[in-house]
């Protein structure tokens, strides 16, 4: 079994198609949303069948909070953004995942939400590597 891979866990195909794996945390896989308009990270708890935060065990809930806060602080440090948006919507992709998005006044959707705003602008491979290095250094 690969490091970090939990038995019975499968990443939702839409999350896999729209994002790139950056690293494994204790509970979550950390992914980068492949849209360079916003520094946008996604944490995916590696637990099969989990759709809501309250579906996690109390220990996993605590770990998810810890990892979300750690990622949010690293993203703010790495980007110098005005605001961090954190959310777990799940209306389209039911698998539990947490969005952590760096927002700055004047960005493409400011002050509105990023969802449904314009067309996605994918990163180049070198931009993904550079962003991954920056986030890893901030963590």
Q: What is the pLDDT of residues 72-114, one digit of tens each?
A: 999 999 999 999 999 999 899 999 999 999 999 999 999 999 9
pTM value is 0.93
Strands 28-33 and 40-45 come out as: antiparallel
Whole-number Å distance between alpha carbons of 96 and 53: 7
Q: Do residues 47 and 75 make contact, with C-beta atoms less than 8 angstroms apart? A: no
Q: What is the pLDDT of residues 21-56, one digit of tens each?
A: 999 999 999 999 999 999 999 999 999 999 999 999
For 12-19, what is the mean pLDDT?
97
Angle, helix 58-79 to helix 125-138, in steps of 10 degrees: 110
């Amino acid at each position: 079994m690969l490091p970090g891979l939990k038995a019975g866990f499968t990443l939702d195909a839409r999350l896999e198609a729209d994002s790139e794996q950056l690293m494994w945390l204790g509970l979550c896989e950390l992914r980068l949303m492949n849209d360079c308009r916003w520094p946008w990270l996604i944490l995916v708890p590696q637990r099969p069948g989990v759709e809501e935060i309250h579906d996690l065990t109390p220990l996993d809930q605590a770990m998810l909070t810890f990892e979300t806060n750690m990622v949010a602080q690293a993203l703010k440090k790495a980007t110098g953004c005005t605001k961090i948006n954190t959310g777990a919507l799940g209306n389209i992709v039911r698998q539990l995942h947490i969005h952590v998005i760096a927002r700055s006044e004047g960005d493409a959707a400011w002050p509105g939400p990023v969802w449904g705003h314009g067309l996605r602008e994918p990163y180049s491979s070198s931009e993904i590597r550079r962003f991954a290095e920056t986030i890893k250094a901030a963590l």
